[in-house]
A and B are shown apart, each in its own frame.
Chain A
Amino acid sequence: MIKLPFKALNAVVAFVVAAAVLMAFANHTPTSASRTPAASQVVRLAYYEGENGQLAATLDPAQISAADDYNTAALQYRALVIIGTNNKAIPDLASKITHSKDLKTWTFTLRNGLKFSNGDPITSADVVWSIERALAPATNSQVAYYDNLIKGYDAYTGGKASHLSGLKAPNKSTVVVTITKPAAYFLKAFSYPINDVLDKKRLQGKEAGPNNNYLTSTCSGNISDGPFKFKCLNSSSGPGSFYNTGATPVYTLVPNPKFYGPKPKVTIKIPALANTDVGYKDYLAGQVDETGIPSANLAGAKGRSDYHQAPTSTIGYISLSTKLAPFNNVNCRLAIAWGLNRSALMAVIHNASNPLYTILPPGFPSYDKSILSKVPKYNMAKAKSYFAKCPNSSTPVTYWYNTSSADSDHLAEAIVNMMNIVGFKAKASGTTVHDWLHRVNTPLSSTNTQAIRNGWAQDYPDPQDYISLLFRCGNAYDISEWCNSSFDKLVDQADKTGNAKQRTLLYSKAQTIALNAGIPVMYDNGVAHLLISKKVHGLGLYAAWSDIVPKNLDWSTVSVS
């Protein structure tokens, strides 16, 4: 045996142990509520959970289409109207909204003394300029269509007019919008971030096109008119203006002292979290104040005192091609509609969602539970009877879905099993999100897709965004290529009906027609499951918002103990 001469080794071991002990002690003790000054209260929101470790795809209101970006935009940019936590369009930068009798002319009066975070006054010229900037052909906005009701939209977006004829600023505090047809959903559609108000003086000349991410890449370019403003590291362009390059991406937002409403007391940090698993672990380790819950952990999380759940407007359904056998026959579609055991399907995914039978989910404006008795639900005898009348029932069926998660796989397997129990020769075909997106973005017959998993979440809380947009004959989203004149007449009428009761009645009739044609086959309504730290007060889950926000969007009520 050889005697060891290495004292240095002992020194290394001692160093490692000492470092570990220091780390343990460096883990500072939490401060009590009474000792947390307002300025140091930090809320760490998991808005960007599941975005592959990235932050906003865009911070430019003209380009926002993702829910996470929408939530972030609402912290720093505001429009004339906004969707409140009660799912209604409420005045925001406008203090007063009036409309003509025919619902075609809308007049917005700006609040007194509005200012951007840099002190510039907010005028009607800023409103008009911001909307025209967003809709300008050079901007190439992918969400411009939210404003397609405004008069002159086609000419302006097509480059045939230099201004949007339906948008005027008769004086510094008034904006008048004229729309082409009466539409009960106009205000809600007008609340979309594409109409957020930007500082014309500061941003004029900065294009918003896809090859110019000025606002997304330049922190100081974001001049806020919302409750928060970005805390910028410098005035350069690039990620380094938002956070230290080489560090995990994070946005830091501080209260905007010029905001017209009650001023927030907290600082917000929004880190990029690769996926829900990472967010969940970060939450358990105390690194974020809220998180989604991986479905595998859902059962355990439901027993926690910091567990919260709320309904969402997300719906899941099967789109069937009316041009391809066997679903070019209504009996074949109805055999599926009556053969799906929705409750059993939800059990497959740990009851993370609720079964759904109508196009509009419960709680959504114009949701009408009285039609439940008139639409397909699970009844195997009925399913078999429709199957018996299905002319091409022996045609093999491929059900497409995206393999984005284990839940998605399990759900597809269960759906296909149920199809086969009815009598079909069905198989599931999992595909990538890219391919799936391609298939649900084009008429099903053009991709030879007989049946595919589909889904939708609200752009704004109005039934038109679901029923008319997705299923009216000729609309781009009508990928089943289904046409029914009675349905079309009903939704056209409902879209412009102001009376809420009458509107609900019309949409209910339209839903009954569509669902009894097997267009679509509804099956689930998403439920949001979150853990919210008990240290954070005043934040909640609301169906209109995809992540936590304060009631009435009043951030002054949020605090950290």
Chain B
Amino acid sequence: MNNIIAFTIRRLVAMIVVVYLITTIVFFMARLSPYDPITLILGQKSIGNPLAVARLRHLFGLDLPLWRQYLNYLGDLLHGNLGYSEEQGNLGEPVWTILRVGVPVSLKLSALSLLLSLLIGLPVGIISALKQNSLVDHGSQFVTMVAYAVPTFVLAPIAQLIFGVELGWLPVSGWGDPGILGIKEMVLPVGLFALALAGFFAKSMRSFMLEILSQDYIRTARAKGLKQRIIIYLHVVKNTLLPLASIVGPTAATLIVGFFIIENFFAIPGIGNITVQAIVNSDYPVIEATTILLAASVVVVNFLTDIFYAMVDPRVRL
């Protein structure tokens, strides 16, 4: 128990350092950009309007020296203030209120995708391993390889054309509508997002299964006359949990990258879309906040994976 507490404290300190470093890097990288968000807000209206430019610059503290801006930024962060949007459509809007809308959307998208990918990937991997070198194995290996290898930005427009434009079964964009439309809107983005992950899980699960199936204790179990179902459930699948945990955790990073593509293709108002809009509009506070949020998510998920790892396998020492 003491080990877990000490480990948790060590990791928490490391996490804070990592997030702080990311915060600093992102802050200065954003400021290194040659583009002035105020000119962007005002556009051509900034011509001959120095007063308006100065007012806005002052409003966002951009007239202060860089070091002062940085200290203010850190101070605000420590007080839970992520700043205010500098993009014309959300001008002056607290960044948190923007993120508050996007985070649940991305969480829903990723949770559903992860769940679906596990529901598809794990059984396929198990079947593939149990029927090693059969037609089923070769077929599923081919499909999972394609699902894993073909990028989502290639699959998405093809799926939109087939299921949205040609067949007219599913919407090609949109999210969050009520009723059956809302469910239909989820099918393509969740399905495509899950597909790539399912390919990865299926391939990994097949490898884990094959390795365990070749262990001596499995042969012993068979020699003892245990039923096939018991061998698979109790001795094989159970022992794949540990390596499985080691790949599901880092998949969080893949999920985050996926946000940017899927949300953009399907007009989903999640964190990926918010980030892309912020980058296009040089909305520094939002870029900084989303980057910190995403980085912190990866760090936290990795931490939780380590904890889970230790809980599942008593041999692991923290």
Contacts and interface: CB of A to CB of B under 8 A. Distances in A.
Nearest to A54: B89
A53 B277 contact: yes
A273 B265 CA distance: 10
Given A23-B169, A142-B52, A441-B39, A246 B164 contact: no
A210 B59 contact: yes
Nearest to B33: A434
B24 interface: no
A53 B269 contact: yes
B168 A286 contact: yes
Contacts of B232: 5
B301 interface: no
Given A27-B168, A53-B273, A278 B229 contact: no
B277 A271 contact: no
B7 to A, nearest CB: 36
Counting chain B residues whose Cβ lies within 8 A of the other chain, the interface size class is 35 or more
Contact of A4 (B131, B184, B273): B131
Nearest to A212: B92
Interface in B25-62: 34-36, 39-49, 52, 55-56, 59
A502 B170 CA distance: 59
A12 B46 CA distance: 60
Contacts of A278: 172-173, 267
Nearest to A279: B173
B89 A285 contact: no
A442 B43 CA distance: 11
Nearest to B182: A247
Contact of A248 (B36, B88, B174, B281): B174
Contacts of A284: 164-165, 172
Interface string A272-315: 11100010011011110000000000000000000000000000
A-B interface, 6 closest residue pairs, ranked by CB to CB distance from nearest: A247-B176, A142-B45, A434-B35, A285-B164, A476-B48, A476-B47
B91 A211 contact: yes
Nearest to B98: A239
B101 A246 contact: yes
Given A3-B228, A438-B36, A65 B45 contact: yes
12 contacts: A53-B273, A210-B59, A211-B91, A213-B91, A213-B93, A246-B108, A248-B177, A281-B160, A282-B173, A285-B172, A441-B43, A476-B48
A4 B56 contact: no
Contacts of B141: none
A287 B89 contact: no
Given A142-B49, A247-B176, A441-B47, A287 B105 contact: no
A282 B41 contact: no
A211 B55 CA distance: 11
B212 to A, nearest CB: 13
Given A27-B184, A65-B45, 19 more contacts: A2-B130, A2-B131, A4-B130, A5-B229, A12-B119, A12-B120, A23-B183, A24-B167, A26-B180, A142-B45, A213-B91, A246-B104, A248-B177, A248-B267, A281-B164, A432-B35, A437-B39, A438-B35, A440-B44
Contacts of B90: 213
A281 B173 contact: yes
> Chain B: interface secondary structure?
helix
Contacts of A5: 228-229, 232
A71 interface: no
Interface string A84-96: 0000000000000
Contact of A140 (B34, B52, B105, B174): B52
B285 to A, nearest CB: 14
Given A271-B174, A285-B160, A65 B277 contact: no
B187 interface: yes
B97 interface: yes
B282 interface: yes
Contacts of A274: 264, 267
Contacts of A247: 174-177, 269
A448 interface: no
A246 B269 CA distance: 6
A332 to B, nearest CB: 26
A141 to B, nearest CB: 9
Contacts of B229: 5
Contacts of B88: 57-58
Given A9-B127, A477-B47, A238 B55 contact: no
Contact of B93 (A24, A57, A217): A217
A74 interface: no
B268 A248 contact: yes
A274 B261 CA distance: 13
B101 A143 contact: no
Contacts of B35: 432, 434-435, 438
Contact of B176 (A55, A56, A246): A246
Interface string B252-291: 0000000000001001110001001100111000000000
Contacts of A440: 44
Contacts of A52: 276-277, 280-281
A278 B193 CA distance: 18
Given A248-B267, A435-B35, A9 B172 contact: no
Contacts of A12: 119-120, 123
Contacts of A212: 92
A24 B41 CA distance: 45
Nearest to A15: B119
Contacts of B297: none
A38 B26 CA distance: 53
Contact of A211 (B52, B59, B126, B281): B59
A435 B91 contact: no
B246 interface: no
